[in-house]
């Protein structure tokens, strides 16, 4: 299955589940479940991890300038699972869709 956008993920599955881990992480970020779901349904895939059958979705938060990142697992043919949620931050992300440079390891020059 070629995953090109979020509708590819959603149209072929009967259920969408948000894992306990994703719920905890969303809570830490001050996000509610409806905001996470909004990000999934209205976001764009910014990274694909085909070997793990996962994607990273960057989606909007209604009424806020902040994007939300949601990692979704599509290994199950019937269920899409949001496995984690976070708000991207610099320097790891230059924009909500572009990764920044990884920091140098400590003690290296």
The whole-number pLDDT of residue 105 equals: 43
The whole-number pLDDT of residue 4 equals: 76
Q: How far is CA 85 from CA 12, 23, 89, 98, in A?
A: 22, 8, 13, 17
pTM of the complete model: 0.79
Q: How far is CA 93 from CA 13, 22, 87, 97, 106, in A?
A: 30, 20, 10, 7, 20
**Residue carrying structure tokens 């003690």:** 107
* Residue 109 in this model has a pLDDT that exceeds 80: no
Parse the chain into domains and list their residue ranges: 6-98
Higher-confidence residue of 38 and 91: namely 38
Residue 70 near residue 90 (C-beta atoms within 8 A): no
The whole-number pLDDT of residue 39 equals: 94
53: left (phi over 0), alpha (psi -120 to 50) or beta: left
* Residue 106 in this model has a pLDDT that exceeds 60: no
The whole-number pLDDT of residue 62 equals: 85
pLDDT, tens digit, 9 for 90 and up, residues 45-97: 999 999 999 999 999 998 877 789 999 999 998 999 999 999 887 555 445 45
User: Is CATH 3.40.190.170 the classification given to domain 6-98?
Assistant: no
**Residue carrying structure tokens 């996470």:** 36
Residue 16 near residue 6 (C-beta atoms within 8 A): no
């Amino acid at each position: 299955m070629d995953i090109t956008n979020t509708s590819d993920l959603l149209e072929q599955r009967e259920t969408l589940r948000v894992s306990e881990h994703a719920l905890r992480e969303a809570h830490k970020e001050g996000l509610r479940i409806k905001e996470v779901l909004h990000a999934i349904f209205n976001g764009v895939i910014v990274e694909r991890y085909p070997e793990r059958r996962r994607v990273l979705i960057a989606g909007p938060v209604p009424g806020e300038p902040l994007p939300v990142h949601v990692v979704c697992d599509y290994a199950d043919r019937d269920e899409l699972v949001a496995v984690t949620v976070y708000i991207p931050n610099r320097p790891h992300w230059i924009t909500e869709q572009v990764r920044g440079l990884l920091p140098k390891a400590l003690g290296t020059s």
